[in-house]
Amino acid sequence: MISNITNTFIKAEKAFDNENFRESQNLLNKVISHDKDFLSAYILLYQIYDKKNSPKKNLIYKELKRLDPKINIKHKPVIIRKKRITKTPELATLSLIKLMITQGKTFQAKKNLRLVINHSKNKKEQQKAKNILSNL
C-alpha cells in the first residue's frame, strides 16, 4: 500500500524525466489503483504509452475523457490488427470421397479432394487424391 499518493506521483514524474519509463509506469499504475480520479497520473501514463505506441493508450485516453471531457489531447488511436488463425480443415478419407463420387456428389468430392491435396501430411494420400481428381 502507498503511504502517500502524491509522493509516489512525484517519484513517477522524476523517473519519467530521467526516461526510466518502466519504473514511472509501475509507480503511476500504483497511484491509479489507489485513486481512480488522479488526472495528472493518467496524463503522464498516456504520454508513456504514446511514446511506446502501446494499445493501452486507447484505454487511458477513454479514462482521460471520463475525468475531463474537455481535455485537449491529440489522440491517434492505436489500431490492433488481429492475426488470422488458419484452422486445419477436417479431411475426409479417400474411401468416403469415392463413395461421394458413386452417389453423384462430384462437386462435394472435388472440394474434399482439393482439401486432401492441400492439407494432408501423407504424400501417398495426396498423390491418390490428385489421380482421382484428374479422372473426374
Domains of the chain, with CATH numbers? 5-67 (1.25.40.10), 94-135 (no CATH)
CA atoms of 78 and 112, how far apart (whole Å): 41
Cell of 14: 522524476
CA atoms of 63 and 38, how far apart (whole Å): 10
Per residue in 74-125, pLDDT (tens digit) is 888 888 777 777 777 788 888 888 888 899 998 998 999 999 898 888 888 8
Quote the pLDDT of residue 2: 55
Neighbours of 64 (CB within 10 A): 18
